[in-house]
Chains A and B, each alone.
Chain A
Amino acid sequence: MSLWEYANPKRFMSWTAPVLPWAFGLAGLCLVTGLIWGFFFTPDDYRQGSTVKIIYLHVPSALMAINAWIMMLVASLIWLVRRHHVSALAAKAAAPVGITMTLIALMTGAIWGQPMWGTYWAWDPRLTSFLILFLFYLGYMALWAAIDDPDTAADLTSVLCMVGSVFALLSRYAVNFWNQGLHQGASLSLDKEENVADVFFQPLLLSIAGFVLLFFALVLLRTRTEIRSRRVRALQMRESRS
């Protein structure tokens, strides 16, 4: 069977139904364990004091804010190339989750920034590109809401998503190629020497797993809702014609 058949709405509804409770359960388990471990059982940092505990929220949410947009980009490209309705609906479903992650990253960053940098906000490359990404999320959701025809909405939002991807990538790599601004380098890297100490790293990994699983579970749930909504609309149109 082709992979694309899983994107058939009926088949999508049937395979996601048993997966959903497991995804939410695992997300809850990882998130609760990671946050409790990080909050209650890790020491303060010698320079940041207890504000280091904000890392367990800020890093995973920032990571997911960018990855959610990348997922939307892939789904949008699939829609543009193959016209799979479920992929367009999955992109639409991911946007409110992505904007929530972006908002958490922006707010926790600002709250951490005041005691550490002496300011809630600075027009630093990473912060600014993140704010623009937030505005792109708003625009993307507004565009879906503003257009009645679902296929036209999917086409236009896909194009917007491609444009916004520039800022999603800028948000990720700004700290690497702009050596200016307040934001420090990436907290996590494949180069082990640059990573945070193990005592912070282990609960952070668990918290990241929780955010990834929660995003996955929410996108599945919301895509199922979008498919149902599309079906209700089709039935109502059929009723009004007869």
Chain B
Amino acid sequence: MIPDLGKYAAEVGLAYAVSLVLLAAIVGLSWRQSVIQRAALDAAEARKNG
């Protein structure tokens, strides 16, 4: 299944690993910040309303 990458296997593997980690990090961080701010806004509006 894994293609034969020949003598450049390390470089290609590293490029994909670094990129996927960075993409996962920005998606994960953005999602986490979104959840935190949504909870903070819900709490602030609950305090305001009652």
Contact = CB atoms under 8 A, between A and B. Distances in A.
Overall SS of chain A's interface: helix
Given A100-B26, A218-B27, A111 B11 contact: yes
B50 interface: no
Contacts of B25: 100
A115 B3 CA distance: 19
A112 interface: yes
Interface in B14-50: 14-16, 18-19, 22-23, 25-27, 29-31, 33-34, 37-38, 40-41, 44-45, 47-48
A67 interface: no
Q: Which of A35, A108, A114, A238 has the most CB of B within 10 A?
A: A108
Chain B interface residue count: which class? 20 to 34
Chain A interface residue count: which class? 35 or more
Overall SS of chain B's interface: helix
8 contacts: A40-B3, A57-B19, A97-B30, A100-B22, A214-B23, A222-B34, A225-B37, A228-B37
Interface of A: 35, 39-40, 44, 49-51, 53-54, 57-58, 61, 96-97, 100, 103-104, 107-108, 111-112, 114-115, 214, 218, 221-222, 224-225, 228-229, 231-232, 235-236, 238-239
Interface of B: 1-9, 11-12, 14-16, 18-19, 22-23, 25-27, 29-31, 33-34, 37-38, 40-41, 44-45, 47-48
Shortest 5 CB-CB contacts between residues of A and residues of B? A50-B5, A235-B44, A228-B37, A100-B26, A57-B19
